[in-house]
Structure 1
Amino acid sequence: MITPTELRAAATADFPALFLRPWRQEDVPALVEAYADPVLRHRTADPVCGEADGRRWVEGQCRDREAGLRFGFAVLEGETGPLVGGVVLKRPAPGGPSAEVGYWTAAHARGRGVAPRALGALTDWAFETFAGRGLERLDLLHQEDNEASCRVARKCGYLLRGTLPAAPPEYPLSGHLHVRPATRA
């Protein structure tokens, strides 16, 4: 079993360090506020549409973490700062060669390097934590029209491997598959 973990991503010249920790019920108001952004709702498969939705969403994150299926992290500016995003490692099957990562940035924090710094911290943690359990690569999927996610993927060493066809209703648009091997050439 993987215990709750806290991660850090370094500050930049212009922006403070990031603190990544498991989701908590106290995050619900900020989560609901972040999901009020139509861009975020459009880009995510599981939107949060209110307080009750937010509570269920956080409970699901906690349950999945305990089961070892999904490791979601709230991304904060500093240890007590505002919520600026989220990152997740999905389905790291014991002995399986791959897992999937995902991320989002709150509208008020976009353009500040939140996604690449948080994804970089998650990527390093995933390979350190699961390499001995057979993890060889991380997959990153996003809608084909999401150029910002392509930039984040490239910054973090995830190589574009191909375009996947749409699979409505869950994936109404075609998407990009980026891959990051455990060891980079």
Structure 2
Amino acid sequence: MRQHITSYVSSFHLTTPRLLLRPYHQEEAQAFLDLLEENRARLESDFPDRTSSVTNLEEAVNRIKILEYQRRTGDLYSFGLWRQQDHQYIGDITIRRLARGKKVAEVGYYLAAHAEGQGYVSEAMHALLEYAFEVLRMDAISLRCAKENQRSQKVAERCGFTWTGEFVPYLNQLSDKPPRPLYTYRLSRKDYASKAA
């Protein structure tokens, strides 16, 4: 499945058969906030920074401004996931450089509860990986997910990532819950190219 990448000066987007992936615009702050509000309890353990810093519309607008700045500097590319058939906002997928100027990055994502289990993340991931390796020219992409998150593990495997280990992160000061063991995965440019061929 070949995704379509469109680039232009002010913005860009990625398309898949069912999804439109594009950077956020400030006028979408309410939808951005609503999805976080509706899914806060299930997202806060994996996305403590975003869930704790976006609790009202003003904070949502400010976060989108930060995302716009990070995209312009090349540090982080955050895409809203919009379903093409009804233009509904259903989640987020982000690629973040692990160090300024380095060609290694980490991908993260979340979906609204009603959109899970329908293959949207795998579809979005394929588009993002194409963008990361072919446009951003990344050397490797990593992915982390909770040890008990079998859905994310299957996404990683379907998208060609290789399991690299397990670790328990330090206690996060933004959460009072104990840290959970995480699985780590990696996909190199070489492996991506060979699997794409």
TM-score class, shorter: 0.7 to 0.9
Percent identity for Structure 1 against Structure 2 = 25
Q: Which runs of 4+ in 1 moved over 3 A?
A: 92-95
Indicate whether 1:42 and 2:42 are aligned: no
Match for residue 68 of structure 1 among 62, 70, 74: 74
- Write the letter of the residue equivalent to 1:158: F
Q: Deviations over 1:32-69 (max 9, x none)?
A: 12112121233213213221221121111111011111
Give the root-mean-square deviation of aligned CA atoms.
Answer: 2.1
8 Å CA contact 2:75–2:100 kept in 1: the answer is: no
1:153, CA displacement in angstroms? 1.0
Runs of 5+ unmatched residues, structure 1: 11-16
1:100-139 to 2 correspondences below 5 Å:
100-131=106-137, 135-139=138-142
Write the distance in 2 (CA, Å) between the matches of 1:123 and 1:21. Answer: 14
8 Å CA contact 1:34–1:107 kept in 2: the answer is: no
Indicate whether 1:174 and 2:181 are aligned: yes
Write the distance in 1 (CA, Å) between the matches of 2:85 and 2:79. Answer: 13
8 Å CA contact 1:84–1:114 kept in 2: the answer is: no
Write the distance in 2 (CA, Å) between the matches of 1:180 and 1:164. Answer: 18
Q: Which moved more, 1:171-180 or 1:20-29?
A: 171-180
Indicate whether 1:8 and 2:15 are aligned: yes
Alignment size in residue pairs: 175
Write the distance in 2 (CA, Å) between the matches of 1:107 and 1:115. Answer: 12
Q: Which moved more, 1:45-54 or 1:166-175?
A: 166-175
TM-score calculated relative to the size of structure 2: 0.80
SS at match of 1:49: coil
Write the distance in 2 (CA, Å) between the matches of 1:167 and 1:6. Answer: 35
TM-score calculated relative to the size of structure 1: 0.85
Write the distance in 1 (CA, Å) between the matches of 2:85 and 2:104. Answer: 30
Write the distance in 1 (CA, Å) between the matches of 2:107 and 2:13. Answer: 17
Write the distance in 1 (CA, Å) between the matches of 2:43 and 2:180. Answer: 15
Write the distance in 2 (CA, Å) between the matches of 1:7 and 1:19. Answer: 6
Cα 1:64/1:97, change in 2 over 3 Å: closer
8 Å CA contact 1:85–1:115 kept in 2: the answer is: no
Write the distance in 1 (CA, Å) between the matches of 2:164 and 2:183. Answer: 8
